[in-house]
Amino acid sequence: MNDPSIPEPRPADPLIALRPWEAPEVTSWGRLPMNAVDRRTGALPLDGDWRFQLLPAPDAPVGGAWTTAHVPGAWTTQDTDDLPQYTNVTMPFPEFPPHSPAANPTGVYERELDIPADWAGRRVVLQVGAAESVLLVHVDGRPVGISKDSHLAAEFDLTAVVRPGGRSVLRLTVVKWSDASHIEDQDHWWHGGITRSVLLYPTDPLYLADVTVRARRDGELRVDCVVRDHGGALPDGWYVTGDLDGELLAQDTEFDRLNAEDDRVSDFLGEARVHATVPEVRTWNAEQPELYGLTVRLHRADGTVADTSYHRVGFRDVEIAGRDLLVNGERVFIRGVNRHDFHPLTGRTVSYDDMRADLVVLKRFGFNAIRTSHYPNDPALYDLADELGFYVVDEADIESHDHAHEIADDPRYLNAFVDRVARMVLRDKNHPSVIIWSLGNESDYGANHDAAAGWVRRHDPTRPIQYEGAAKRGWADPDVASDIACPMYAPLEDCVAHALSGEQTKPLIQCEYSHAMGNSNGTLADHWAAIESTPGLQGGFIWEFWDHGILQRVSDGRPVGRTGAGLYDNGVTAPGHRWAYGGDFGETPHDGAFVADGMVFPDRTPKPSMYEHREIAAPVRIRCFRHEGVVLANHQHFRGFDWLTGSWELALADGRTLTGPAELPELCPGETAAVPLPFEVPADGGEAWLTLRVTTAEDQAWAPAGTEICAPQIRIRAADTPRPPVPAGPAVEMDGEGLLLHPLLTAAPALSLWRAPTDNDELGGIALRWRAWGLDSLVRKVVSVHHRHDRVTVLAEYAGTTGVVRHRQEFTAVEGGVRVDESAELPEEFDDVARVGSVFETVAGLDLLEWFGQGPWESYPDRAAGAPVGHHSVPVDELFTPYLRPQESGGRHGVRRFTLSAPDATGLAVELDEPRQVSVTRYRAQDLTAVTHHDELVPRAGCVVHIDAAHRGLGTASCGPDTFPSYLVAPGVHRWSWTLRVL
């Protein structure tokens, strides 16, 4: 007898007769219920090359020649005519929900199924890991089932349509566009295909239909099992046992059998519960992710095992107390990032090794939380989060951004909302890493959300629910579906005001708060200073982890598929290739480079902002310096310093660096202690900075011993008051336009108010104002040139479209070089310019930059916490940061002096009057502004050098707040001076 929960395939079934890609009421047909039973052991993998045809529409006949397509993998990355398309909000077709376009790419996948003969008498199940967006399953031409929900697995019972020892033809048809596409309108590339693994597995007729594990921090363990029999009625005498780390759990088991005695019950099932209490339990948290191995066994009456499921169990509690989110009773900071499943060669198809590499990078840079934007991620990610230690906000595959208001209350989509949220919970409920369920993203807020939330609260009361869209009713509203106030890009002052208002009722954890598009993440340190000092603020999730650039061949504009490994490194592609973003595949509509908004490049190379986050999240902090040593603080929640070691580094302005070992004290979370230094601080040497380089003491699951974790720093002596260089003739040489003549310069120092606009500048609107003012094309007019015996004073005016800047330069010959004293008076209308400073260009051959200041990586006025002051040395060609759309980059904040030298140590040296923003690259701002991709750039032989008296902060205005007023460049008079010498 067949399992009565599985309908017989009937070609005349009304659901089969429907066009399922246009029926929002149909979320599935013939698909098995989602469950959390592990089926990897004994499964037959079906990954590999399948026969493939790409049809123009789902109704088009299959015919003609077959090609091959790799499974898993999107056909949009496998050399087909249907290429990737990126949109953020706008749907890629004009039809309103629930309709889809007539031109609807449809992939037909076929292969033979050889069913092992020893599967006779067993139940045979097909699992398709993910398919975008509608999946239709046929075996030997017989319809088996339908599934929607592009980012969760679909399972189908094939027992009735295959024969053990025989061969069948499996056809998987994937329709790209459907009614479901309207609720999968995520900020990502649109793909089509089977994007996760496909497998076939057998079970005994008596099988575990579901397993629910609840493990509390006090050691209480409860395992609830649902048991079914494929033949119908459950046999007598079956029972369930479990062991934890190989030790049999004490028998304290309850059974309940439900019988199908009336027509309302469609299946026969049994339920069993195993209780246990683990003494001296090791609890799970993101810092110490302790896991136990749980094996659940279903036994027949004679004691033989019918079915088995393995789970890794973490004992932990999640609760909300007042306005605090607690893990194991502790208020934890959520240092999160939003993450898509992504790979630059394979789109949404990501291997286990790639996912592990993602999480290793995040762990090394201080992140402890992931939001699975905006759908359940690959199942392996949750296993890795359990193992490596991450708090996960698991988000349902619901985003209706373009038609959010209509769909939120549309009853036609009610089933889809509840189905998608429920299936996510059923799949992922046993992962200790999952601490919050999310109802989706950017889908307004309506009855469909409330219905889904109601299902979750009934099924899993152990975790809170969040949904950003509910915020429109107010962050403190108790009557909305969200247990957490989780706005996106809320101004920091609004968050602080809410926390201090006395009206806050929920934890405030922003689901998105710092937009990492291009040269960005300004004010990140300011945000965390407020979060750590304001009760009620508990963190948030940066948008996002990846730049979603797809590797593209420039010659034919096509994406480079699985065979393209090795064509990129450190954010840079090989010649003839580039990182493609929206529009690069000729698609319309598209949203350009907005898809390139991550903390890492497409090859997972960390951007400079990652170092900023690493320092902000440092587990070890230096509180203050005393003559006998420094005071250290433990900023972890659960862990001591036993896993860390350290070394001291003292950087002196005179060029010396002293080092010595550091002994980290035994500190509990939140504690402080004074520790001595291993060396005497010299009485001379000028400005002095003390850095504690903290590394792993031994191998961690995510970092080998010696991996740097953070480098907290404190200034222990201020700079001496600089004395101006003594004038020394002869007078400096000038040309007829009042420009400095110098043997190492190919372009004399001039005033600069412009930078190649960052993505934040462009999308935030400030670049438009700069162009309107004419800052990118200032016209210099010499007013006067005054010579004295040892100096030259040049007065000039730089005219924009709407204003004039008065610029004064005074050149004084000094020993070995020339001192330049400058001032610039900005008119009132120039109330927010990019920079005020000098720009000049050098001869070729000066290829090494050495400096005393912040570094070694890029830093800017509002993103400088992660760049310690010290002596740094970097080749000029490595100073530039290759953001996917060329823009201002490569700056170093707080530079006191620098040298540019050739291999023979000749070159130039610059001393600054005070710490300044400096950049040295091969590109003028105009070079960067004129192109859209890095393969179009031609580096100059010499160096383009900027010395800024003031430089505008970066902010995150491409999507979120701009930089703070304190980081803007105001009108008025700016003064700076610097000395140029020949090495």
Residue matched to tokens 């979320």: 27
How many CB atoms are located within 10 Å of the residue 14 CB? 9
* Count of all residues that appear for the chain in the document: 983
CB-CB contact of 750 with 839 (8 Å): yes
How many CB atoms are located within 10 Å of the residue 497 CB? 12
For every residue of 910-946, DSSP letters joined together read EEEEEEEEEEEES--HHHHHT-SSGGG----SS-EEE
**What one-character DSSP code corresponds to residue 834?**
S
Q: What is the radius of gyration, based on Cα positions, of the chain? A: 32
CA atoms of 108 and 51, how far apart (whole Å): 8
Of 877, 978, 893, 896, nearest to 937 by C-alpha is 877
CA atoms of 219 and 222, how far apart (whole Å): 10
CA atoms of 678 and 661, how far apart (whole Å): 7
> Which residues, including other chains, have CB under 8 Å from residue 588's CB and lie 6 or more apart?
none
User: Which residues are known catalytic residues?
Assistant: 442, 512
Cis peptide before 197 (omega within 30 of 0): no
Helix (H) or strand (E) holding 967: none
CA atoms of 528 and 618, how far apart (whole Å): 12
Residue type, 660: G
Of 79, 76, 78, nearest to 105 by C-alpha is 76
For every residue of 197-234, DSSP letters joined together read EEEEEEE-SEEEEEEEEEE-TTSEEEEEEEEEETTSSP
CB-CB contact of 488 with 512 (8 Å): yes
Say if strands 434-438 and 465-466 run parallel, antiparallel, or are unpaired.
Answer: parallel
Phi, psi of 620 (to 5 degrees): -115, 130
CA atoms of 218 and 927, how far apart (whole Å): 62
CB-CB contact of 160 with 8 (8 Å): yes
How many CB atoms are located within 10 Å of the residue 646 CB? 24
Q: Kindly tell me the burial class for residue 246, based on how many C-beta atoms sit within 10 Å of its own C-beta (0-12, 13-18, 19 or more).
A: exposed
> Which residues, including other chains, have CB under 8 Å from residue 545's CB and lie 6 or more apart?
337, 338, 339, 340, 358, 362, 598, 599, 600
Q: Point out which residues pair with 210 in neighbouring strands.
A: 226
CA atoms of 850 and 898, how far apart (whole Å): 5
CB-CB contact of 721 with 775 (8 Å): no
**What one-character DSSP code corresponds to residue 403?**
G
Q: Point out which residues pair with 740 in neighbouring strands.
A: 734
CA atoms of 303 and 38, how far apart (whole Å): 21
Q: Is the dihedral of CA 754, 760, 763, 766 positive or negative?
A: negative
Distance between start and end Cα atoms, the chain: 91
CB-CB contact of 961 with 796 (8 Å): no
Q: Is the dihedral of CA 518, 519, 523, 528 positive or negative?
A: positive
CA atoms of 207 and 125, how far apart (whole Å): 12
CA atoms of 834 and 913, how far apart (whole Å): 21
The rounded Cα 855 to chain-centroid distance in angstroms is: 24
Q: Distances in Å between the alpha carbon of 625 and those of 111, 649, 688? A: 69, 14, 12
